Amino acid sequence: MTTRAFLNVDHSLTARRWVGPGPEAERLAEAMAQQTRLPLPLCQTLVARGVAPEGAAAFLAPQLRDLLPDPLVLRDMGKAAARFLVAVRARQRIAVFADYDVDGGTSAALLITWLRAMGRQATLYIPDRIDEGYGPNVPAMQTLGAAHDLILCVDCGTLSHEPIAAAGCDVVVLDHHLGAETLPAALAVVNPNRQDETGDLAHLCAASVVFLMLVEANRQLRSEGVQGPDLMAMLDLVALATVADVAPLIGVNRALVRQGLKVMARRDRVGLKALADIARMDQAPTAYALGFVLGPRVNAGGRIGQADLGARLLATDDPREAAALAARLDGLNTERREIEAQVRDAAMAQAEARGLDSPLVWAAEEGWHPGVVGIVASRLKEATHRPAIVIGFENGIGKGSGRSISGVDLGAAVHRLAAEGLLVKGGGHKMAAGLTVERAKLEPAMARLADLLARQGAGDSGPGDLHIDSLLAPGAVTPELIEQIEAAGPFGASAPAPRFAFADVAVAGRKIGEKHLRLTVSDGLGGRLEAMAFGAFDTPLGPALENPGHKRFHLTGRLELNHWNGRAKPQLRLEDAAEA
């Protein structure tokens, strides 16, 4: 039986059906508000996250010491940390082989920063995305192995059997990508997504795995009476990786990001300080800034420029080098956006022609830059609420990236495709995956992938459902309320910011630039709220709300504080509307 639409909105201006909290969730939220004296909108947010009244205080103030797992619960962790310390004590030559994305760059920077504090150095190696592709390759590992005693593979290596066997020296893998039934012949493979792991820590990104290895290394040093480097000061890197790699912000991840944001706000890391300055970040960092301001710039070198620029920026302690690297990455990010826009438009047109009602949305074309296909896949996923794959072909070989939706494990499906021989190679994790495919196998591979994803429920719910957490009046929104709601964050993957609705309000709109719309929302009872609809004129929202006449509307979106001239004013980030 279909439940009644929230505020009776079955078909909004953007053609979506609004779905609100059920009676049981509303009852639990009211009971929590009475028991805890917390604001009802905050209680509704907590209930949506499965928090009980007795757990509300701990959830709102998560302590890393309570949530951080014992590193030794991960297989091979003891061996990895011990071998790492042998290399440190004996001044052996250490190389760090990292992936070219933010998670790989931060993982490398964590190790380099820790080693520098111990008076040691490491060789950084990041493969070129186009010339070498993802992960360890035989020539690179042979070259590194000939000149080093230990290679640490971070955010990669779990499936690299042949390259690791060719290294000729000890190799330790610190990764989080889905493992196969057999592991490479490394000294240690630390990975919460090994098939023989419990899966309890499957949500960790690679930087968190590296951080746990350093926690264990410090613990082993303490047992010998030696003080290790300050790991709390490195949580800014872990936070950046967790958000940029779209790891779910649950459990220890949430605590790592919250603490990491506090560390980042101190602006002690010269690379991140330089990047924040060139990106004109004039407020305390937020999860949004990590994912959409800093993360894309760190990624830009690996996407279309020199692969190691991001890791070098994060690891440097030289302000002049940091400023130069930040400027170069900022320029590459601008160039990346231009390339992305061209590929995005073509991919969306192709996907629409193919049909957007499949469990999988995909597009492939000759010459698409492999450095932007992952971002374009994200855009397709967001537009269709379906897993998406985008592939760029060159000389008959396609390199692609995919992004998934909550509840659908894309990495496992891609890994199975590779095992069945439909892909040259492929792997990843639940929310993201990479693949290489021959042109002749493209259509059967995508058909098979769509079938595997359909079995997980992909395509069962579409963009027509817009979930709303609570109903508010414009006059009830204050800076204090928004700050209280933000205490339930940080918000991101698997923990979206709550969405609020405002019923039967009048709006007055003003166009900003070519695409955006600023609104004043009023309820006729003295309550007013400012709202901003970015990209409104790319949708039906702009034309309908700019000159509404005497029409009244239901509105929905997410609350935020708009900082201007030293003041913080409440603002609604408008997402949808319907005539009242």
192-230 pLDDT, tens digit per residue, is 999 999 999 999 999 999 999 999 999 999 999 999 999
505 domain residue, yes or no: yes
Q: Of 297, 330, 363, which marks where a domain is finished? A: 330
Amino acid at 521: V
347 domain residue, yes or no: no
pLDDT of residue 259: 97
Based on the domain organization, do 399 and 317 belong to the same domain? Answer: no
pLDDT of residue 295: 97
Residues 257/242, Cβ–Cβ less than 8 Å:
yes
30 domain residue, yes or no: no
Based on the domain organization, do 475 and 440 belong to the same domain? Answer: no
142 domain residue, yes or no: yes
Q: DSSP letter for 7, please.
A: G
Based on the domain organization, do 236 and 89 belong to the same domain? Answer: yes
Q: What is the CATH number of the domain that holds 16?
A: 2.40.50.460
Based on the domain organization, do 148 and 214 belong to the same domain? Answer: yes
pLDDT of residue 3: 75
Q: Which helix (H) or strand (E) holds 433?
A: strand 432-438
pLDDT of residue 1: 47
Residues 427/416, Cβ–Cβ less than 8 Å:
no
> Which residue, among 336, 333, 373, has the nearest Cα to 351 in the 3D structure?
373
Based on the domain organization, do 295 and 194 belong to the same domain? Answer: yes
pLDDT of residue 461: 61
Range(s) of the domain holding residue 481:
6-20+468-579
Low-confidence ranges of the chain (pLDDT < 70): 1-2, 461-464
319 domain residue, yes or no: yes
pLDDT of residue 459: 78
Based on the domain organization, do 317 and 405 belong to the same domain? Answer: no
> Which residue, among 164, 247, 182, 80, has the nearest Cα to 415 in the 3D structure?
182
Whole-angstrom Cα Rg for the chain? 24
The pTM score is 0.91
506 domain residue, yes or no: yes
Q: Of 400, 426, 455, which marks where a domain is finished? A: 455
Based on the domain organization, do 427 and 472 belong to the same domain? Answer: no
Q: What is the CATH number of the domain that holds 430?
A: 3.10.310.30
Based on the domain organization, do 302 and 386 belong to the same domain? Answer: no
C-alpha distance from residue 331 to each of 62, 160, 282, 324, 356 (Å): 38, 33, 20, 11, 34
Based on the domain organization, do 413 and 277 belong to the same domain? Answer: no
Based on the domain organization, do 445 and 474 belong to the same domain? Answer: no
Q: What is the CATH number of the domain that holds 74?
A: 3.90.1640.30
Based on the domain organization, do 314 and 436 belong to the same domain? Answer: no
Q: Which helix (H) or strand (E) holds 414?
A: helix 410-419
Residues 269/325, Cβ–Cβ less than 8 Å:
no
pLDDT of residue 133: 87
pLDDT of residue 462: 55
339 domain residue, yes or no: no
Q: Of 425, 455, 485, which marks where a domain is finished? A: 455
Based on the domain organization, do 135 and 80 belong to the same domain? Answer: yes
Q: How many domains does the chain have?
A: 3
10 domain residue, yes or no: yes
Percent of the chain past pLDDT 70, that is, above it, reads 99
Q: Is 189 helix (H, G, I), strand (E, B) or coil?
A: strand
pLDDT of residue 563: 82
pLDDT digits (tens, 9 = 90+) for 240-249: 999 999 899 9
Whole-number Å distance between alpha carbons of 277 and 326: 9
Long-range contacts of 319-327 (CB under 8 A, 24+ apart): 319/270, 319/274, 322/270, 322/271, 322/273, 322/274, 322/275, 323/274, 323/278, 325/271, 325/274, 326/271, 326/274, 326/275, 326/277, 326/278, 326/297, 327/278
